[in-house]
Amino acid sequence: RKEVEQDPGPFNVPEGATVAFNCTYSNSASQSFFWYRQDCRKEPKLLMSVYSSGNEDGRFTAQLNRASQYISLLIRDSKLSDSATYLCVVNRNAGNNRKLIWGLGTSLAVNP
Amino acid sequence: NAGVTQTPKFRVLKTGQSMTLLCAQDMNHEYMYWYRQDPGMGLRLIHYSVGEGTTAKGEVPDGYNVSRLKKQNFLLGLESAAPSQTSVYFCASSYSIDGGLSTYNSPLHFGNGTRLTVT
């Protein structure tokens, strides 16, 4: 089992739809969490950091559930420009260092 | 602010040739990373650096070497390229956040990537 798992999709949704992705992590020592967005043939870009209390940025809401060890990303009123791959990233201590564990990503296609 | 700059953007090598990928950041970040990304494999860490003059191995270091002689630069070298090293390479940087009881990595800032093909 991978340490960070995501449903690869693709999620195909119409414009205006609400879509949600989950990401599960297996190491309870994980400390911080992020969602990145990656467009085709481009570099990953930070979408949101995920805080324990949950956080919202416009149409995007991220939540963390430590008890069940997952984070979620909710996109409301989907736009065509939201089409991308969404990467879940978990940061945890590994000995004296901190380690970033990347999910393989969830592909979203928003259709007209 | 340029952020993280990678050169070159594209390169084609023949098996056995060598090359160096350059990464420069102007954000005074302590940490720098080299990743490769392949279909179905996600981002895999090759090497990383926690400060000037230090480097460490990541998940897939074989066939690569790195150097961080200056804080702003992180170089990735391929001494004898192999077709298995055909990939997209991303450089990234981050800094440490003091969270009180512990420290955290800031989110990563990525370069635009280098598409390398080894024939």
Tell me the per-residue pLDDT of B73-82, one tens digit each, with 9 for 90 and over. Answer: 999 999 999 9
What's the pLDDT at A95?
Answer: 64
Interface check B105 vs A, CB under 8 A: yes
Binned at pLDDT 50, 70 and 90, residue B36 comes out as very high
- Kindly give, in sequence order, each residue whose CB lies less than 8 Å from that of residue A53, ignoring residues fewer than 6 positions away: none
What's the pLDDT at A32?
Answer: 85
Whether the link from the prior residue into A8 is cis, omega within 30° of 0, is no
Look at residue A77 and tell me whether its pLDDT is greater than 90: yes
- Kindly give, in sequence order, each residue whose CB lies less than 8 Å from that of residue B107, ignoring residues fewer than 6 positions away: A34, A36, A46, A49, B94
Asked if A98 lies within 8 A of B56 by C-beta distance, the reply is: no
Look at residue A1 and tell me whether its pLDDT is greater than 70: yes
Length of chain A, in residues: 112
Q: C-alpha distances in angstroms, B89 versus A10, A40, B53?
A: 24, 14, 22
Q: What is the mean pLDDT of residues A86-108?
A: 85
Chain-wide mean pLDDT for chain B?
A: 93
**Chain A / chain B CB contacts < 8 angstroms:** 44
What's the pLDDT at A51?
Answer: 78
How close, in Å, is residue B117 to chain A by CA atoms? 15
Binned at pLDDT 50, 70 and 90, residue A31 comes out as confident
How close, in Å, is residue A94 to chain B by CA atoms? 12
Chain-wide mean pLDDT for chain A?
A: 92
Interface check A32 vs B, CB under 8 A: yes
Q: What is the mean pLDDT of residues B45-49?
A: 96
| Residues of chain A positioned with their CB less than 8 A from the CB of B50 | 97
Closest CA relative to residue B92, chosen from A29, A96, A36, A2: A36
A40-63 per-position pLDDT tens digit: 989 999 999 997 878 999 999 999
| Angle made by CA atoms B36, B27, B11, in degrees to the nearest 5 | 35
- Kindly give, in sequence order, each residue whose CB lies less than 8 Å from that of residue A16, ignoring residues fewer than 6 positions away: A77, A78
Test the B interface: residue of A43, A97, A99 with most B CBs within 10 Å: A43
Query: Which residues in A1-112 belong to E strands, given as ranges?
Result: 4-6, 11-14, 19-25, 30-38, 45-50, 55-57, 60-65, 70-75, 84-94, 97-102, 106-111
Of B104, B107, B111, the CB nearest to A46: B107
What's the pLDDT at B103?
Answer: 65
